Structure 1
């Protein structure tokens, strides 16, 4: 991650020039990520939405544009896209973005990627689907990507922190 918005904007210029020469899934992933970083730096809602729309377009296109793509890269693009839609949810509080996240990630949920489970749990929590939230969190906490701190600090899961099943789930991961 670059340190400030000027560095990010400079890198966007570089990667956009590279895109004009030859596009690749890796380049699309970087271009989308740079724009998501700008969303977090900006305090202006219109700017945030602008960069978010750019990131969504780049990432959506990359998932369908390339015929030969590794499963890892496809998952990375899908996770970045899910992250973008959940940022959109955070800005708008519109649950349709959680549904879109589920639609992107559910077809990949048979793969052993903990971050998929985290975003599916997050989207399920937003949609108040307790059983699905519980299901995805169970898969997440046993994955190699499990991040105890993230689960305890993420605001979406705050209502669960007093639930017995949640406390037990976290406790079993420490032993």
Structure 2
């Protein structure tokens, strides 16, 4: 992650120029990520929405534009797209963005990717789908990349922290 607005904007210009001549899934990931970084840095709601729209357009296009790409790139594009939609949810509190995240990532659940499980749990949680949240978090907890601190601190799971199954899940990870 770049440190300043200036560095991000400079890299944004460079990657947008590269897009004109040598587009690739990796470049789309970087272009989307740069915009998501600007979303997190901006204090202006309109600016944040603008950069989210740009990131989503880039990531959506890249997922369908390249006929052949490594599965890892497709997963990363999908995860970043899911992240963008959940950032949109955080900004607007509109559940439709959590639904879109679920639609993007559920077809990838068979790949047993920790991040896919995490975002599916997060999207389910904000929609108040406790059974699905529990399902995805249990799958997440079985991966080698589980981040207990993230589970404990993430605002998307605040309403579940007092549930016995959630406490047990966290406790099991701490041992």
Taking structure 2 as the reference length, the TM-score comes to 0.98
Q: By how many angstroms is 1:50 displaced?
A: 0.5
Which whole-Å CA distance do the structure 2 matches of 1:172 and 1:52 have between them?
A: 36
Which whole-Å CA distance do the structure 1 matches of 2:55 and 2:22 have between them?
A: 18
Mind listing any 5+ residue stretches in structure 1 that lack a counterpart?
Answer: none
Give the aligned partner of residue 62 of structure 2. Answer: 62
Which whole-Å CA distance do the structure 2 matches of 1:48 and 1:167 have between them?
A: 35
Residues matched between the structures, number? 175
Give the aligned partner of residue 41 of structure 1. Answer: 41
Give the aligned partner of residue 127 of structure 1. Answer: 127
Give the aligned partner of residue 106 of structure 1. Answer: 106
Give the aligned partner of residue 82 of structure 1. Answer: 82
**How much is the aligned-residue C-alpha RMSD, in angstroms?**
0.7
Q: Which runs of 4+ in 1 moved over 6 A?
A: none
Does structure 2 conserve the Cα–Cα contact (< 8 Å) formed by 1:95 and 1:127? yes
Which whole-Å CA distance do the structure 1 matches of 2:144 and 2:62 have between them?
A: 27
Does structure 2 conserve the Cα–Cα contact (< 8 Å) formed by 1:142 and 1:173? no
Give the aligned partner of residue 159 of structure 1. Answer: 159
Taking structure 1 as the reference length, the TM-score comes to 0.98
